Structure 1
Amino acid sequence: MQEAPLERPAKNTPVLALAGVVHADPDTTYDALADLVTPQAGQASFFLRHDETRTLVVQGGWWYRGEYRVLPDEEGARVEHELVNVAQTAHWAGPITGRAVIADTPALFHQLLTDLAARVE
């Protein structure tokens, strides 16, 4: 697994943005989120854990970039997820190629919030 850059590539288009609240401390939530989204050994992905900003980046394939942020919230921790098309060539084809991923992301994010809550609340 290689390190992903914190900055997005020159060509990027946000495709989907989701957010939810977990009733736990932001630092605890961030650590649990990192455990859940860090690619396993052997997976072809780029990954970055940027603790100062509580940001996690998972980038794989030629078009996909997932960004996660954990922010303080009056109810605990706000977890944000942004799906970004980072295809540098044939940028227009990213959302077409990834249409199943894009369609599945809201349900997967909801499950991720459920799993996070079970770990930290």
Structure 2
Amino acid sequence: MTESASIERPPRSTPLRAYAGEIHAAPVDVFAALERHLRAESEGTGIAVDAAGRFIVVQGGWWYRAEYRVLASENGARIEHELLNVALTAHWAGPLAGQKVLRDSPAAFGALLTAMAAELEG
């Protein structure tokens, strides 16, 4: 069962990484594909969805929060992704604990965009 996460960003949060990419498809379709992919990948972590705002939060562990937003763009949809440290105690240790996640995040975001683009084209 998936736990719930809050749409509201915790007051103590530090952005660690930010990415953006474009997919040539309607924002509503991109958002639906993003939600499907994140739900499939996020088993055991908290997820919150604001469909009207095209905003998704995935939160797990004591430090990790990922935010995704889908915006309309000239060529379809722009996906913005931000990784945050939301540790309430030992805030300084979040980036240390998440070194592998942070190191792998550019490739993971690229793979997500590639998978979604392939799904939406096919």
TM over 0.5: yes
Rounded to whole Å, the distance in 2 between the matches of 1:33 and 1:86 is: 23
Measured against aligned partners, the alpha-carbon deviations of 1:6-49 in whole angstroms (never above 9, x if no partner) come to 111121000000000000000000000100001568x3211111
Instruction: Identify unmatched segments of 5+ residues in structure 1.
Output: none
Q: TM-score, normalised by structure 2?
A: 0.94
Number of matched pairs: 120
Tell me the equivalent position of 2:30. Answer: 29
Relative to structure 1, the CA distance from residue 40 to residue 106 in structure 2 (aligned partners, 3 Å threshold; closer, same or farther) is closer
Instruction: Identify unmatched segments of 5+ residues in structure 2.
Output: none
Tell me the equivalent position of 1:82. Answer: 82
The percentage of aligned residue pairs carrying the same residue is 49
- Give the 3-state SS of the residue equivalent to 2:52 in structure 1: helix
- Cα shift at 1:3: 1.6
Tell me the equivalent position of 1:18. Answer: 19
**1:35 partner letter:** R
Q: TM-score, normalised by structure 1?
A: 0.95
| Aligned residue runs from structure 1 range 45-84, under 5 A | 45-84=45-84
**2:98 partner letter:** G
Tell me the equivalent position of 1:2. Answer: 3
Q: After TM superposition, where is structure 1 displaced by more than 2 Å over at least 4 residues in a row?
A: none
Relative to structure 1, the CA distance from residue 76 to residue 40 in structure 2 (aligned partners, 3 Å threshold; closer, same or farther) is closer
CA RMSD of aligned residues (A): 1.3
Rounded to whole Å, the distance in 2 between the matches of 1:26 and 1:118 is: 15
